Structure 1
């Protein structure tokens, strides 16, 4: 059997305004723009987020969040629990301080009230304008996220 070579068939490129239309209008060659997905509105908040693991001594290390708050080692803090969250605020009369390494140490009583144990990962939400940090334990994150996932995924717990 002899080798048969078939020449490729390549249609000519038609460029708008280049005279290749053979007298026809280029209007039929224009394409409508592709539809764009609806994007969420731009972020308007100024919160700074972080995720950190709690060590056996109750320390949290997230230098980005601490830096955003302007807290330095020795900054005095007021720490309290509220609705299952831990709230830290810079306070000249606070009895707790940022450690020499820039870590935050949660008191044992607060960890117990919130059900926090060594190794738990917590969501940190800092509000630099108010000098405030809210620590969200896993149970609090679940309470926020599970209903949203159920609504989006159309079912029960993920």
Structure 2
């Protein structure tokens, strides 16, 4: 879990290190089903900051309904060179669905 700051930066270097993403690495970012999928892409429009942070541009933050201070779940898939960002709304949906399953349809 990591917080998004007022400039859209996510300062969790551990996930970037796990993916071997270094400052200047070019990235492709796409929203899919409420999640943000980020891959290294030599032609990507975005890149890891010179300080080694992931920066989520305003357009991406708006699409995922992220605001400064939101905490996101970061999941890496090194084999796919992929970072999946789970915004709070996506986590709420996942947990609500799972809780309903566990409680046999009773959302209490």
Fold conserved between structures, TM > 0.5: yes
- Larger helix proportion of the pair: 2
Query: Is 1:62 matched up with 2:2?
Result: no
Partners of 2:58 and 2:25 in 1: CA distance: 20
Query: Could you tell me how far 1:77 is from its partner in structure 2?
Result: 0.6
Partners of 2:33 and 2:68 in 1: CA distance: 21
1:84-119 alpha-carbon deviations (Å, 9 max, x no partner): 211110011112110112110111111111110000
Identify which of structures 1 and 2 has the higher relative contact order when contacts are C-alpha pairs closer than 8 Å and 6+ apart: 2
Match of 1:71 in 2: 21
Match of 2:86 in 1: 136
Calculate the TM-score normalised by the size of structure 1.
0.63
Query: Of the candidates 91, 96, 99, which is equivalent to residue 149 of structure 1?
Result: 99
1:51-75 alpha-carbon deviations (Å, 9 max, x no partner): 1100000011111111110101111
- Larger strand proportion of the pair: 2
- Give the root-mean-square deviation of aligned CA atoms: 1.4
Query: Could you tell me how far 1:153 is from its partner in structure 2?
Result: 5.0
Larger radius of gyration, structure 1 or 2? Answer: 1
Calculate the TM-score normalised by the size of structure 2.
0.90
Query: Could you tell me how far 1:156 is from its partner in structure 2?
Result: 2.1
Structure 1 ranges of 4+ moved more than 3 A: 150-155
How many residue pairs are counted as aligned between the two chains? 107
1:19-72 alpha-carbon deviations (Å, 9 max, x no partner): xxxxxxxxxxxxxxxxxxxxxxxxxxxxxxxx1100000011111111110101
Gaps of 5+ in 2: none
Match of 1:107 in 2: 57
